[in-house]
Amino acid sequence: MNAPRSVAALAIAVLLGACASNEPEGAKLAPITATVEVEVRGDGFVVTDGRRIARERFVVELRLRVRAMGPVAADGVRVEISIAKDATDSATRDAEWILDQLQIMGVGQAAYR
């Protein structure tokens, strides 16, 4: 009668040990290959590289730029989003829209200030 208990205890110990050894090591970011800074104005426009352009145009240009890169370089694209001090109330919504678009295009590194 002790044999079934010993087997059950051993099976539980093995299962618990297997769970403990499979812990994730944490996310590792790819080395940064390009940094893109964008300032959200809140009026449907952003400022990037000294140009004031529509937020949609910014996303399209960035999408084309990322597609032209190799997969390793594309993984390292970092987009730094900031909101202008004199931005309108809709700036936060525009910044969140840009973040959504970055996720869709596979940009894995974004900073939102």
**pLDDT digit string, tens, across residues 14-67:** 444 555 444 456 667 788 889 999 999 999 999 999 999 999 999 999 999 999
What's the mean per-residue pLDDT of the chain? 82
For 88-111, b/e burial (b = at least 16 CB within 10 A) is eeebeebbeebeebbeebebebbe
Strands 109-112 and 45-48: unpaired
Q: Kindly report, residue by residue over 64-92, the tens digit of the pLDDT.
A: 999 998 888 888 899 999 999 999 889 99
Q: Label residue 8 by pLDDT band (50, 70, 90).
A: very low
- Residue 106 is predicted with a pLDDT of 85
Q: What's the order of all strands across the beta sheet hosting 45-48? A: 51-54, 45-48, 34-40, 77-83, 109-112
Whether the per-residue pLDDT at 10 is higher than 90: the answer is: no
Write down all domains in the chain, each with its CATH number in brackets. 34-112 (3.30.420.270)
